[in-house]
Amino acid sequence: MSPTIDPTTGQLRAPEVPQRSLSDHSAPEKTLDRVLRIGTDFLPLVLLALLVLGTTWLVRSMPADDSGRAAPPSDKPDYYLNNFQIRSYDAAGVLRAEIAGDHGDHIPKGDLLRANGIRSYHLSEDGEVTRASANTGVADRQAETVELQGQVRVTRGPLDGGNQPQLQFESDTLHILEGGKRLETNQPVRLTHGPQVTVQGTGMQYQHGQQTVNVQGRVQATFEAARPATQQP
C-alpha cells in the first residue's frame, strides 16, 4: 500500500499494515508437535513389538536341536561274539539263564542276541528247566524269549527230575515264550515224553500252566507200555 495525506492535518500518513494473530501460526506448530510427541512416546513400543516378532520368526526358522535327545536303539549289530556264553545269576548265586553260541552278534534294539549254533538254558521260579538248541536263534539275555530255527530241540523238566521223564520237542522252527512256560510252532513237530509216548503233528502249542499240549494237523501218537524192571539173579 502507498502512503496517504491526512486531510485534517495535511500530514503524510503511513499505510496501515494489517495485524495478524500469533495463533494463526501456532495452531499448525502445535499439531506437528503433538504428532511428534505421540510418535516419540510410542516408538519404544513399536520397536519392542518388531523385536518380538523378529525373534519369534528366527526361533521358528532355526532347525531343531536334537543333540540332547537319545538316539533310538539301532537294529544293526554293535558288537560280535565267538564261542560265547552269557550267564545270569540271581542274588543267591543260582544260575538262572544262559545263552551260548558258536558265532553271534548283539542287536541294541530290544537288547537281543543272534547266534549260530545257539544253546539256551532257563531255570524258572518253580524249578522247571528249559534247555534248547538249534542251528540259529534270537534270544534275550534272560532266555525268556527265544526264536529257534533249524534242527530245533527243546527239553523241559524239573531241575531235580530224578526218574521223572522229560518233555522233548523237535521241529524246524519253535518259539519259546515266558522262559519255556509256553512253546509254539506252526511247523511239523515231534513230541516225546520219555520212551513210552511219542506224538507228531503239523503244529503245536504247549501251556505249562494248564498242563496242556495242543497238537494240530494230522496227529500220530504212539504209546508204549512201560516195561517191568528186570530182576537181577
> Domains along the chain?
79-223 (2.60.450.10)
Residues of the chain with pLDDT under 70: 1-30, 32-39, 41-42, 59, 62-70, 161-162, 225-233
- How far is the C-alpha of 228 from the C-alpha of 196, rounded, in Å? 13
User: What is the model's pLDDT at position 22?
Assistant: 46
Determine the residue type at 99.
Answer: I
Distances (CA, A) of 84 to 113, 119, 144, 220: 11, 10, 18, 39
Expressed in angstroms, the distance from the first to the final Cα of the chain is: 169
User: What is the model's pLDDT at position 195?
Assistant: 81
User: What is the model's pLDDT at position 60?
Assistant: 74
User: What is the model's pLDDT at position 98?
Assistant: 95
pLDDT in tens, 128-182: 999 999 999 999 988 899 999 999 999 998 887 667 788 999 999 999 999 999 9
User: What is the model's pLDDT at position 65?
Assistant: 58
User: What is the model's pLDDT at position 11?
Assistant: 59
The H-or-E segment that residue 48 falls in is helix 23-61
- How far is the C-alpha of 227 from the C-alpha of 164, rounded, in Å? 15
Task: Output the CA angle 124-130-133, nearest 5 degrees.
Answer: 145
Grid look-up 519404544 returns 44
Enumerate residues 6+ apart whose C-beta is below 8 A from 198. Answer: 190, 191, 192, 221, 222
Three-state SS sequence of 196-229: CEEEEECEEEEECCCCEEEEECCCEEEECCCCCC
